[in-house]
Structure 1
Amino acid sequence: MFIERLVCLGCCCIALSVNAQQGLPTREVAKAVDSAAALLRRHYVFADKGEKIARHLEEKYKAGAFRQVADWKTFDSLGTAILRNFSQDGHLYLRYNPDKVTKIRSQQQPQGIDDFFHSQKTREQNYGFREVKILNGNTGYIKMDQINISDESLPVLQAAMTLVSRTNALIIDLRDNGGGGSEIKPVLESYFLPAALPLLEFYSRTGNKEIDSSIVLPAGQPYQGALYILLNKGTASAAEAFAYVLQAQHRAKIVGQPSAGAANHNEYFVVNNEVFISISESAPALPGTQQNWERTGVQPDIVTAPGEELNEVLKIVEKKK
């Protein structure tokens, strides 16, 4: 009987030992949290806020938030929720992607820029231009799934704008457009604004400031008709920037629901062999102010129920005839 009890106790000890070893090693999780916190302190666009975010992450770890994390995918989901709930920064996240970590380390694609602007997938997606057409009443319509402006995509943008150039009104549909960017200055904005107009001022961690201004178009003339931009909660980043600038310049009416509220610009940094972190390194604002759409989103001039954005604009255009 005594021996049987010893055997059973031994089995329980073995089972407990196995359970304790399930998931990621505690030491590796601690190192990952330390690494992420150090990167936040070093790179976040606002030093004081970066310190607070880093400290919050460390406090959550000490309180047991990462106890018995099953794998690095679970770690990235949990860590991202902690970071975003505290910072309200949509560009701040952890991501499990060993292949991407390797690319970042090799500096082949440190920010994913070449991959985004010039990949075969990007070409197959027509650089984000989903639809370009003329609706009834001589109203132009451009549906963009992403903002992808480069020397390579410029002919597509020019062709789209040429097609709609003689319309009375133009609708640019940015619903569920997650953003992107431009390699060649704010060309898209320049199709609707005079040249040399300051649009956004970018603040960096070092305190440097850069101003993006509209440019003289490489081809064609600025569009002169009425402009409407459709947004929803899936509209983010560079798509928000476009809408925000045109609204601030009183050049477009924004229709739909408040956008995602992801204004800051991010960079990628290696946490460990499995995980990288996206950190906001610069923040845009209207020139001479600190106003942007981070957290709040771009607010529509005309609020509609989801799915009713286009119908609402068409009603407005019809009434103006």
Structure 2
Amino acid sequence: MTTPTQLQPAPVIDETARLLTEHYIFPETAEQLAGLMRQRLAEGAYDVDSAEELGRLVTTDLQSANGDKHLRLKYHPVRVPPEQGEAALAAMRRDFDTSLGGAPLVELLKGGVAVVELGPALFPLEWAAEPLGAALALASPARALIVDLRGNLGGDPDTVSFVCGHLLDARTHLNTMHWRAGDRREQYWSPAHVPGARFGGTKPLYVLTSGRTFSAAEELAYDLQQLGRAVVVGERTGGGAHPRDGWTVHPHLEASIPVGRSVNPVSGTNWEGTGVAPDIACAAADALDRAHALALARLSD
């Protein structure tokens, strides 16, 4: 019978600091945080018995500089397998299959107002194009549309662009990603053409958000809001605008490090740390009824 290996925080901190300084989108902040972690290690602040507690302490320190919610030492209760990427992909595929491809609900409400729920994620476009295209095309004849992102935790920026293509009339610049590696810039545009019918860029459009709405789902809400295309209804979102990569630094710990940052062409900034502020603030549980009432009032004008 084997016994658990005693937690050794120093190798975890050293490797996390190395990865941080090599990959974090803000190099100066990375150096500052690496120094903070090494200082805290020397002071004995990380002398704990569990990987979960170490992850919590380090995450608090990592987020102390700028509140970056994608920057963390993430604890995995089940030992991270060597094939971490394959395991994560398999889990994502299960979520995709059980959510009808990320569009679990299409409904027509009173007055010709359609609701399309997108969740629990905006899955990779090579998977999601067909089901999302079908759901959005089905809703396209509606007089007004509500896109429900209250339970959406993020996903693929290409899928954000694809969805926007159904909600706009022309190819539109949505976002520019600034990557640390190679100091690259990558622009994201809505497609000029989409499969099937599109809802278009003129009929009333509402986007529902909650405090759980995060990452790429926030981008979808933010892009449409900044373009003046949609009214965002609900709660302020989580505030994660930096795409991340993950590295295993302990059998139960993953260093989650943002490697890029979004820059919106309208605002010149993003929603990192602040979240997307709703145009109409209300509890997430009330957002659908509120948006439906707003749509009916606008259609009656």
Give TM-score, length-normalised by structure 2. 0.88
Report deviation, 1:242: 0.3
Question: How far apart in 2 are the matches of 1:238 and 1:188?
Answer: 12
In the alignment, structure 1 residue 180 sits paired with structure 2 residue 155 = yes
1:288–1:302: structure 2 CA closer, same or farther, 3 Å change rule?
A: closer
Contact 2:137–2:199 (Cα < 8 Å) also in 1: no
Checking the alignment, whether the CA contact within 8 Å between 2:173 and 2:189 is kept in structure 1 is yes
Note the C-alpha offset of 1:172.
0.7
CA deviation digits over 1:109-136, x for unaligned, max 9? Answer: 7xx4x4466x234212222222111001
Q: Distance in 1 between matches of 2:265 and 2:25?
A: 17
Distance, in Å, in 1 between the alignment partners of 2:267 and 2:280 is 25
Identity of aligned residues (%): 27
Find the residue that maps to 1:187 and give its secondary structure.
Answer: helix
Q: Which moved more, 1:304-313 or 1:256-265?
A: 304-313
SS in 1 for 2:222: helix
Per-residue deviation, residues 119-177 of structure 1 (Å, max 9, x unmatched): 23421222222211100110000112221242332221122112211111100111131
Q: CA deviation at 1:197?
A: 1.5
Partners in 2 of 1:135 and 1:288 — Cα distance?
33
CA contact (8 A) 1:101 1:275 kept: no
2:109 match: 135
1:319 is matched with which residue?
A: 297
Q: Assess if the C-alpha contact under 8 Å between 1:148 and 1:182 holds in 2.
A: no
Which of the residues 23, 30, 41 maps onto 1:61? 41
* Residues 80 and 251, structure 2, Cα contact 8 Å, conserved in 1: no
In our comparison, the structure showing a higher alpha carbon Rg is: 1
The answer to whether residue 220 in structure 2 is matched with residue 242 in structure 1 is yes
- Between stretches 235-244 and 302-311, larger displacement belongs to 302-311
Corresponding residue of 1:219: 195
* Cα distance in 2 for residues equivalent to 1:86 and 1:57: 12
Residues 185 and 226 of structure 1, relative CA distance in 2, 3 Å threshold: closer
Q: Give 1:237's aligned amino acid.
A: S
The offset of 1:208, in angstroms, is: 1.0
Q: Distance in 2 between matches of 1:42 and 1:36?
A: 10
Deviations 1:50-105 (A, max 9, x none): 112222222222333212x122122222222222233311111112346435124x
Once residues 43 and 175 of structure 2 are traced to their aligned partners in structure 1, the CA distance between those partners, rounded to angstroms, is 41
After TM superposition, the runs of 4+ consecutive aligned structure 1 residues lying more than 6 A away are none
What is the deviation of 1:295? Answer: 0.1
Aligned to 1:168: 143
SS state of the match for residue 187, structure 2? strand
For residue 184 of structure 2, what is the aligned residue in structure 1? 208
* Structure 1 residues 263-274: aligned runs within 5 Å: 263-274=241-252
Query: What 5-or-longer segments of structure 1 have no aligned partner?
Result: 1-21
Instruction: After TM superposition, list the pairs within 5 Å mapping 1:58-97 onto structure 2.
Output: 58-67=38-47, 69-97=48-76
Mapped partners of 1:116, 1:263: distance in 2: 23
Name the CA shift for 1:262/1:79 in 2 (closer, same or farther; >3 Å). same
For 1:217, the aligned partner's letter is H
Root-mean-square deviation (CA), in Å?
A: 2.3
Q: Output the CA distance in 2 between the equivalents of 1:289 and 1:244.
A: 10
Distance 2:12 2:281 in 1: 43
Q: Distance in 2 between matches of 1:289 and 1:173?
A: 23
Distance in 1 of aligned mates of 2:70 and 2:164: 23
Give the Cα separation in 1 of the matches to 2:109 and 2:289: 12
Q: State the 1:317 CA deviation.
A: 1.8
Paired AA for residue 301 in structure 1: D
Q: Distance in 2 between matches of 1:115 and 1:185?
A: 22
Look up the equivalent residue of 1:176 and give its one-letter code. G
- The residue that corresponds to 1:43 in the other structure is 23
Q: Distance in 2 between matches of 1:289 and 1:183?
A: 20
Write the letter of the residue equivalent to 2:30: G
Q: Which amino acid aligns with 1:303?
A: A
The match for 1:11 is none
Kept in 1, the 8 Å contact 2:209–2:284? The answer is no
* Alignment partner, residue 19 of structure 1: none
1:101 touches 1:274 (CA, 8 Å); kept in 2?
Answer: no
